Amino acid sequence: MDCSHVFEFKVNRLIVVFTLFLAFFSATPAAFAQVDSLQTTESTHAETKAEKKFDIGKFALHHIADSHSWHVIGHTYIDLPIILYTKAGIVSFSSADFTTVEEGKVVRDDEAKVVVERNGQRFVKMHEKIYYASDVANDHGQFVTLDEKHHATNARPLDLSITKNVCTLFISIIILLVVFLSVAKGYRTNKGKSPKGIQSWMEPIILFVRDDIAIPNLGHKYERFMPYLLTVFFFIWFNNMLGLVPFLPGGANLTGNIAVTMILALATFCLTVFNGNKYYWKHIFMPDVPWWMYIVMVPVELFGIFTKPIALMIRLFANITAGHILVLSLICLVFVFNSLYIAPVSIAFAVFIGAIELLVAFIQAFIFTILSALFIGMAIEEHH
C-alpha cells in the first residue's frame, strides 16, 4: 500500500520537530528519574535529609503514576475506594485506611508501614501498590520484604480499585457521552439545517476524521470503521486535554498510562487481524519473493503484525508521559533552585510547553487514529 501521503502530511513535519524538542528537554528529567528512584528508599530513613534536597524525578514520576487517592490541594485528598480480588474473595475498603495519626497530624502512608486487616487478610500499600503484608516489619518498620533494588517481593492481590486513572476514565467517558449525545441531539433538532452550538464545534472535527483519516486510508469501506476511529480519536484527544488540566477533574495521566494505550492498540490490532482479507495474509505468509526468501520474510512480516500496534502503544504513552514530565520538571525548577526568582522563567516555559502540549494532544490523537486507519486499510485493501 502506498503510505507516502501520511509522511507528506504537513503535521508530520511538525511532529518531528516537536518530538525532537520534547526528547531534548525530557532526556534530563528522565535520567534524573532513574537515578532518583534508586535513591528514593534510601532517603526514606533519612527524612530530614530528604526534605532539604528536592527530588525532581521522584516528584514527576509520582505525579504521572496512578494513585489510590486523588490529591486536590495542600493536604486535601479525595480517598478513592480500594477493591481487591484476594484469595478469600472480594475485599473493599477506603484508601483513607492507609493513614496513621502522628503527633496530631494525619500521615498518609505509602511505604507499607500501615497494615489494614480485612477478612482476616493483612494489606499494606507501597508506592501505590497493594501487597499482602508480611507478618513482621523489617528494619525500617515496613511490613514487606525488599529485594536489593528496594522493590517489595510480597505477593499482590488482584487490584481492581477505582484509582485516580479509573476515575478519570469514567469522568472522560461521561464528558464524551454528554458532548456527543448532545451533538447527536443537535442533529435531530436542527434536522436539515446548519449546525448550532456544540454541534458546530464538533462537526468539522468529525468531518476531519471522516474525510482526512478514514476515507483516504480505508476507501469505500470506511463506514464500518468510523465508530471505532471516531471513538478512539475523541477518547485520546479529550483525555490528552484532560491530562493537561492541573486540577480536578483533570490532572491524571490516563493516555500516558501504558495499560490504557495497550488496550487502545489492542483494539486496532484486533480490527486489523479480524478484518484482514486473503491478500493481506498472502502478503504475510506467501509474499511475492523467491521461496528461499520466505525464511527471512515470513518471520519479519509476522513480527510486523505485532510491532505496528506496539509502536502505537509506546508512541502515545511516551509522548503524553514526556509532556507531563516536562511540564512538571519546569514547575519544579523553583524548588530545585530553591528560589522564587526562578518562578517567572519556569512559568513562562511551562506556559510555552503547555501550548505545545495542547497541539501534541491533538496531534497524538490524530496520529493514533490515522495509523490505526492505515493498518486497517492495509488489511482490507483489495488487489486487482
Q: Which is closer to other proteins, CB of 283 or CB of 324?
A: 324
Strand order of the sheet with strand 116-118?
116-118, 121-126, 129-132
Mark residues 48-77: x for contact with other proteins by CB under 8 A, - for none.
-------------x--xxx-----------
CB-CB contact of 252 with 357 (8 Å): no
The region of 95-103, 164-172, 274-282, 375-383 touching other proteins under the rule CB under 8 A is 164-172
The region of 98-106, 225-233, 271-279, 290-298 touching other proteins under the rule CB under 8 A is 225-233
Q: How far apart are CA 258 and CA 211, in angstroms?
A: 30
CB-CB contact of 349 with 330 (8 Å): yes
Q: What share of the chain is helix, strand, coil (3-state, %, to 5)?
A: 65, 10, 25
Q: Which is closer to other proteins, CB of 177 or CB of 359?
A: 177
Question: How far is C-alpha 280 from the geometric centre of its chain's CA atoms?
Answer: 31
Q: Is 384 in the site for other proteins (CB under 8 A)?
A: no
Mark residues 119-138: x for contact with other proteins by CB under 8 A, - for none.
--------x-----------
The region of 43-51, 98-106, 165-173, 331-339 touching other proteins under the rule CB under 8 A is 165-173
The region of 38-46, 94-102, 256-264, 273-281 touching other proteins under the rule CB under 8 A is 256-264
Q: How far apart are CA 329 and CA 255, in angstroms?
A: 19
Mark residues 167-206: x for contact with other proteins by CB under 8 A, - for none.
--xx--x--xx--xx-xx--xx--xx----------x--x
Print burial letters for 139-158: b (CB count within 10 Å at least 16), e (below 16). eeebbbebeeebebebeebe
Please state whether beta strands 105-108 and 99-102 pair in parallel, antiparallel, or not at all (unpaired).
antiparallel
Site for other proteins, rule CB under 8 A: 61, 64-66, 127, 158-161, 163, 165-166, 169-170, 173, 176-177, 180-181, 183-184, 187-188, 191-192, 203, 206-207, 210, 223, 226-228, 230-231, 235, 257-260, 262-264, 266-267, 321
